[in-house]
Every structure is written in structure tokens, then in C-alpha cells.
Structure 1
Amino acid sequence: MTTIFLKNARIVDGTATEPSDPMGIVIEDGMIRDIGPDVTADTDMVLDLAGLTVMPGLIDCHVHVIATTADLGANAALPSALVAARSSVLMRNMLMRGFTTVRDLGGADRGLQLAVEEGAFLGPRLVICGKALSQTGGHTDYRGPYDNRDVGWYAQSLGAMGRICDGVPEVQRAAREEIKNGAQFVKAMADGGVSSPSDPVGYLVFSVEELRAMVEIAKGFGTYATGHLYTDEAIVRALDCGFECIEHGNLISDATIARVAREGIPVVPTNITYDILASSGARFGLPAESVAKIADVREAGLERLEKMHDAGVLMGYGSDLLGGMQSEQSGEFTLRGRYLPADAVIRSATVDAARVLRMEGQIGTIAPGAHADIIAVEGNPLRDLSLLTQQGAHMPLIMKGGTVVKKTAALR
């Protein structure tokens, strides 16, 4: 049994506007056993965190760990072994930014998840949907005009973000197969997107019957369906079919904001990706036709943040970056901080993110019974969200599941 004691921990998790009083935290076999101002423990490993801010490990609710280049068509054609090797580097960098759990929205499989769990790859805890469900001519169909080659191989390519399924029977089979293969929820490309060639934003790709079929399969397996969604029409359509989470949501209307707040539907905005794609997408391999779509959703997404916050919508932290742009993963903190209070921004990557992932009490919190995912930050992020950026430069301690993955010499 391994026991670690953290003392003088002033905690920030987004549920208050000031850090807590100094606390003692007892960690036992990777879990938090006890916490409180008078808690102590007799152990050889004691870390004094005086002068630092202590936070739960951060959670990114929308990543693509297999997106090793912004040209996702090219990425899908890469050898799976090469994608896995590059993915291991992307995941390690995520962890070193303080993200101890990430939710992959298309591509990561049970193999990558096991590689992290077994310690072969150093990375965050992975929550996966397997391949996103798409359709001919939809988001993640990267063939473009005049190319009608069969894309059945997408389902077996680690570098492919999604798989193609047309018609209710194919949708049912694909959803069942992804869950059989380890998917923890179902993700559908239920609107057009930026990174693929033949699906304009607002393109109502799946039929209502297909959307309902995947929701039925997900619920039958005890989980939920989430959708890549931009326009209000597509969002309403998905909600009517039983979808229980919205990815992006840039063009959501005021009326639908009120609806999702009332019904408790989470939204995962991913605004940093549009900022970076607009400035650097072409340099990182995003095709020109994709770059041209960015303006359709960029400014609206930022304006909707305040509306959703004011309405009380549950929002998770999401980055959705591709290839070399993934180094900007933490930029969503400062971007949201221009529109929202710092505590709300932090909460989106801690307790609220845990709710989005349906892992309340397990992650995103420093409390008895939770995984010992803990980071220490120099300074107070409630006053300066940029302390959570710069590739973890201001994080002298990063701990995942009770294992110290980063500790600077300054800690004693």
C-alpha cells in the first residue's frame, strides 16, 4: 500500500472565487482517502505545497489524440503503427499540460486506452467513443468530389476519425460494433464540418431515423449519444431524436440555449480550434476548402459563450485541435476568460467536465473516493488563467492516479 501526504494545499476547483484554506490530503493506492484542515498521515512521502495553488487534474472534454496532422484525409491513410507512435507523443504532452483525463471524440480505440492504462504510453486517462459515425458525403468522408472509392477500411484505420454508415441497418451495426470494441458512448457527425471537403456547415446529413437508431443503440447499452453540431436546426433535430450532449454548438439560438439549460443537456464549446485554424490551419496541413469554412462558426461561437453561461448551461472544456496545433490546447482557458468569470472557466475543466463525462466524484475534484489526479500551480489561476498555459511551465507538480509524473526540484 502506497501512501502520500500533501500538506498546505490551498485548493481551487472552480466552485469558489477564492482558494480554500490550507488542507492536508491523504492519498492511498492512487485514490484520495482523506482531506481536511487537520488531516495528517504518517508516511515517508510528504510534499509541502505551501505557496502553490492545488487543483484537480484538468479534463479536456473534446480531443482527437489520433489527429497527428490537420489533413485528416492524409492522417486516415497513415500506417496505424505510425499513428499510435505519434499519438503517444501527443498524449504525453497533454498530460504535461496538466490534463489528466481527456474525452476522445473520434479515432482513439481500446488499444490506445490499454496502452495508457498499462503504462506503455504516458498520457491522460482516455474516455473514448471509438470511431465517430458519419455518412457518405458527411463530416469525416475525406474523398471529395469525383472520388467514389470504397471507405470500408476507415473502420480499421487508427488514423481515421470516423467510419461511414448509410441507412438504419448500417448505423445500428456500426454503433453496436463501436460499443463492442470498447466505446463508452456514441458520437455522430450530425452536421457538416470544417475539416472535410463535401459537407457545408448546416448540412443535415443523417436522416431522423438514422439518428434515432443510434440513440436507441446507445441507450440500450446504458450510455448516450453526442453529436458534432453547429447550426440551430441541426441541434434541435438531434435533441428531438434523443441526443444527450452537444459538441461545438456555435450557432445555437437563444431559444435552444434555454431548452438545453432546462433539460440539463451539456454543451462542449471548442472555440480555440477556430482561432488557431484561422491563423495557422493552412501551415499545419488544413486544406484550403476547410480554411474557407472557419469564418462561418468562429465569431458566433464566442458570442454564444456568454449566452450559455448566463442561462446556466452545463459547459465542458474542449479544445478539438489537430496535428501540430495541439500545443495550443490550454489556450481555451484564456480565450474563454475574455468572456466568462475565471471560476466558471476553471469549473468547465474540473467538476463540470466530470459531469459531462458522467464521472462525477471520480475525477475533476479533490475529495475522498476520487482518483488522485492533482496539479500544483505557481500563483492563483483565479486571478490569472494564463498560469494554466505555456505547456505546464507553471505546474511544478502533476499527479495522475496517485503517480507523480512531474515534480520539480523546488518541491520538498
Structure 2
Amino acid sequence: MAVRTDPGQIRTGSVVLRNARILDVESGELGAPRTVVARDGRIAEISESTRTVQDAVEIDLGGLTVLPGLIDAHAHVTQASGDFNEILSWTPSYHAARTARVMHGMLLRGFTLVRDMGGADTGLSRAVEERLVTGPRLKAGGPIFAPTGGHVLAKVCDGEVELRRALRAEFRDGADHAKLTLSGGVVSKMRLEALGFSDAEVVAAVDEARLAHRYIAAHVYTAEAVSRALRLGVRTIEHGNLLDDECIELFLAKGAFYVPTLATYWAILSGASGHGLDPAKKAAVEDIFERGLESLAKAAAAGVRIGYGTDLHGAGLDHQLEEFRLRARVQAPLEVLRSATLVGAEIVGESGRAGVVAEGGYADLIAVDGDPLADIGVLADGRSLRFILTDGDPVRIA
């Protein structure tokens, strides 16, 4: 069998996968070997049939465990470097080329859908759809929005009118969501406990998203910032490492989503991201990481809907799967897997199409050697990934 990873090829016929053992991410049950037929980018049939399908490419998976394609609900496909000043120095064409490589790498790690949380526009989504770029389906939100003095690499908007105008332009151009920085950050000059945007500005942003049938996500860390964002109508909370009981109650009352990003702190602390830290900064990141694990455990125990996010940049992108191992410290493997499939699909409005292996769903799936419910390392270790199907096309057969 050959590896096909080149972009721009036109799909012909169908793909038939034999001896596929499908792991139901809802029930946690691993099924007997089945035949999966993909046609026109969708799963057309799942059965025990062994009949020949005309004009189809047949692949015998040999009993590998088949899962839905993974969903990273907090990614930055345009941040190919961890040095933000370097990114700002790139020409648009060079930046696009680096972004294409990042997206290709994400797909080869098994991520068939990503939600970009700052930097990507819908041109990249279109490039994937038209097969100009080989990468995951992309939900783009345009730039990050911040007030003067706010977080890094952001579009600065001050006042309700200015913010509404900017959001209207992004939603007109097809943005799936918009992210506001409502607190400081780990790599920001803005103090972690500082709050971004006024209440009136946040309410205006939520209103614009509602009018466009879109939603607002918020970059927040402290319990104060999380609670405020939820009370003002934000739908997804990004990071949120310092949750308290009030935050949990608001998540449940509002039906909001929580997207922790533990991998980004792990990458900083391990040196995988390439960030150099002085002792004081390293201690602060260690505290944020440990308290993030505590908040994740608290939210999971309460039944908060939790998405899988990584927030990686530059060299750290190679460790996108590490989030599985980190979350497994406080969650059962099936819970983590649901975050990266079912909940991710719900966050991006693709329930029933993405995040499942089901007839009528997207023909986006992966096959791994082993049982990830018995050993989360099967997912965290990319070497166990044997096969990827995206939009009905094989992109990796190993």
C-alpha cells in the first residue's frame, strides 16, 4: 500500500475499508470487524458485507481500531512559529506556505477538523474544500479581538461601535465564530488577573454574533473572568485554568463549553515549544498548569461539556496529541476521546456529521493499532496511528 498525501487530487469512485473494528465513542464499545464504504465524502454504508463495490479502492485494515477523525477545538494554524515577532515579519505568501505545512501536519496526526482560535480566515477553509491544500476541515474565526493594552497578535477594537463594525465584517466574510480576550494570558504583557473589554462591549459582541447566527469564544483564565464571560453570554471558554464553584454552576446553567489547553503549558515547561523562561515565569506556568488539571477534574466531575484543545505554536505543534496523555491524568480515556470527537463536533455545529463513524456522517476517520480505552498512549503516541481517511480520501496508510 502507498501513502497519498498530495493535495489537489480529485476523488474518483468509492473507498471500501475491510475488517474495520469501530470504536463507538458514545458507548465505549469496540465492535466486530465491519466493512465501511465511503462515497462522495460521506460514509455511505457500514455493514458485514463482503461484496465487491464497483470502481472502489479497497483497503484491508486488518482489525485495526477505527475512530472518528479527531477534532482540535483550539488550534492556531497560522502560528507556525512560537516567536510572534517573527510571524509579523513574514510576507503573506510565505505565511500562507508555512500555514499549509502546519495544516498538513495536523491532518497527519489524525485531526480531520480543527477550530482555529485566532489568525485563520475563511480563505484557508476554502483552500481545503477545493483541495488546494491538504489539511483538516477548518472552522475559521478570523483575528483575535482585544482592547487597547490587551492580548498579543490581536485586532484592537475599542468601544461598542468599533467592535460591532469589525465583527460584522468578519461574519460577513464567513467567520464561524469570534474570539475576544477577556483577561490577560501566560505569554501576554497584560496581567493575568486583568479583565479585557467592558461589559457593554462584550454584550455588544455577543449580540452581533447572535444576529449572524454565530457565537463568541473568550480567552480567560481567572474565575472572575470566566464567570463574567459566562454571565454576559459567551458560548465557549478557552483555557479557564482557575475555575471555582460559581464557574461550574454557570457552565451548567448556560449550557456553555469549556476548552482547556493543557498541552501549551506542557510544551512551554518541557522545552518543546522553544520558549525560554526565567525562573519566576516558569514557576507561574507550572502553577497555571497544575491548577488547570484541577479545574479540568472539577469540571469533568460536574458534567460540564469539555472540548479538546491544544493552543500550540511553532515547534510545539508536533505535540498536538500530548493533550490526550495530559487529560488522562484526571479523566477516563473515554471522556477524553469524547472531548476530541462528539463534544468537538457539537462546539462547531457539526453533530452527527463530524466526531462519529456513522452512515451519513463525514468520511473522516482514523485507524489505530490498539485499544485507546485500555491505553491512552495509543492516541497520544502518533506511531500507533496507521490510517487516516479525510473527506473520503486516504491520506495515510502505514
- TM-score, normalized by length of structure 1? 0.89
CA RMSD of aligned residues (A): 2.0
Residue 296 of structure 1: CA displacement? Answer: 4.7
Q: Which amino acid aligns with 2:242?
A: L
Tell me what 2:18 maps to. Answer: 7
Summarize the Cα distance change of 1:287–1:78 in structure 2 as closer, same or farther, 3 Å threshold: farther
Tell me what 2:234 maps to. Answer: 243
Residue 51 of structure 1: CA displacement? Answer: 2.4
Asked if 1:200 is matched to 2:195, the reply is no
Tell me what 2:223 maps to. Answer: 232
Task: Give the Cα separation in 2 of the matches to 1:22 and 1:177.
Answer: 49
Q: Which amino acid aligns with 2:186?
A: V
Task: Give the Cα separation in 2 of the matches to 1:58 and 1:286.
Answer: 31
Tell me what 1:100 maps to. Answer: 112
Asked if 1:137 is matched to 2:149, the reply is yes
Asked if 1:90 is matched to 2:107, the reply is no
Q: What is the CA deviation profile of residues 50-85 of structure 1, one whole-angstrom value per residue up to 9, with x for unaligned ones? A: 321001111100000111222223322322222111
Summarize the Cα distance change of 1:71–1:309 in structure 2 as closer, same or farther, 3 Å threshold: same
Residue 293 of structure 1: CA displacement? Answer: 4.7
Residue 297 of structure 1: CA displacement? Answer: 1.9
Asked if 1:114 is matched to 2:114, the reply is no
Aligned match of 1:177 in 169, 172, 187?
Answer: 169
Tell me what 1:403 maps to. Answer: 393
Asked if 1:345 is matched to 2:345, the reply is no
Residue 181 of structure 1: CA displacement? Answer: 2.4
Asked if 1:253 is matched to 2:241, the reply is no
Tell me what 1:20 maps to. Answer: 31
Task: Give the Cα separation in 1 of the matches to 2:146 and 2:126.
Answer: 25
Q: Which amino acid aligns with 1:307?
A: K
Q: What is the CA deviation profile of residues 353-381 of structure 1, one whole-angstrom value per residue up to 9, with x for unaligned ones? A: 11111110111101121110011111111
Aligned match of 1:70 in 68, 75, 82?
Answer: 82
Task: Give the Cα separation in 1 of the matches to 2:282 and 2:188.
Answer: 10
Summarize the Cα distance change of 1:12–1:74 in structure 2 as closer, same or farther, 3 Å threshold: same
Aligned match of 1:264 in 255, 265, 279?
Answer: 255
Q: Tell me, what secondary structure is at the counterpart of 1:365? A: coil
Q: What is the CA deviation profile of residues 74-103 of structure 1, one whole-angstrom value per residue up to 9, with x for unaligned ones? A: 322322222111111111111000001100
Residue 218 of structure 1: CA displacement? Answer: 0.4
Tell me what 2:71 maps to. Answer: 59
Q: Which amino acid aligns with 1:376?
A: A
Tell me what 2:314 maps to. Answer: 323
Task: Give the Cα separation in 1 of the matches to 2:75 and 2:93.
Answer: 20
Tell me what 2:5 maps to. Answer: none
Aligned match of 1:312 in 303, 306, 326?
Answer: 303
Q: Which amino acid aligns with 2:67?
A: M
Q: Tell me, what secondary structure is at the counterpart of 2:112? A: strand
Summarize the Cα distance change of 1:39–1:232 in structure 2 as closer, same or farther, 3 Å threshold: farther
CA contact (8 A) 2:307 2:340 kept: yes
Equivalent residues in 2 for 1:132-171 (5 A)?
A: 132-140=144-152, 161-171=153-163
Summarize the Cα distance change of 1:12–1:357 in structure 2 as closer, same or farther, 3 Å threshold: same
CA contact (8 A) 2:74 2:259 kept: yes
Q: What is the CA deviation profile of residues 227-251 of structure 1, one whole-angstrom value per residue up to 9, with x for unaligned ones? A: 0111111111111211111111111
* Structure 1 gap segments, 5+ residues each: 141-160
Summarize the Cα distance change of 1:87–1:285 in structure 2 as closer, same or farther, 3 Å threshold: farther
Asked if 1:187 is matched to 2:153, the reply is no
Task: Give the Cα separation in 2 of the matches to 1:125 and 1:40.
Answer: 31
Count how many residue pairs are aligned between Structure 1 and Structure 2: 386
CA contact (8 A) 1:282 1:291 kept: no
Task: Give the Cα separation in 2 of the matches to 1:344 and 1:249.
Answer: 19
CA contact (8 A) 1:195 1:286 kept: no
Summarize the Cα distance change of 1:286–1:399 in structure 2 as closer, same or farther, 3 Å threshold: farther
Q: Which amino acid aligns with 1:397?
A: F
* Structure 2 gap segments, 5+ residues each: 1-11
Summarize the Cα distance change of 1:112–1:282 in structure 2 as closer, same or farther, 3 Å threshold: closer
Residue 17 of structure 1: CA displacement? Answer: 3.2
Residue 40 of structure 1: CA displacement? Answer: 5.2
Q: What is the CA deviation profile of residues 288-307 of structure 1, one whole-angstrom value per residue up to 9, with x for unaligned ones? A: 99757524521110111111
Task: Give the Cα separation in 2 of the matches to 1:255 and 1:241.
Answer: 14
CA contact (8 A) 1:21 1:37 kept: no
Q: What is the CA deviation profile of residues 317-368 of structure 1, one whole-angstrom value per residue up to 9, with x for unaligned ones? A: 1000111111010000011112111111111111111111111011110112
CA contact (8 A) 1:188 1:227 kept: yes
Residue 39 of structure 1: CA displacement? Answer: 7.7
Residue 7 of structure 1: CA displacement? Answer: 2.4
CA contact (8 A) 2:120 2:141 kept: yes
Q: Tell me, what secondary structure is at the counterpart of 1:20? A: strand
CA contact (8 A) 1:70 1:281 kept: no
Task: Give the Cα separation in 2 of the matches to 1:324 and 1:289.
Answer: 23
Task: Give the Cα separation in 2 of the matches to 1:303 and 1:255.
Answer: 15
Residue 42 of structure 1: CA displacement? Answer: 2.3
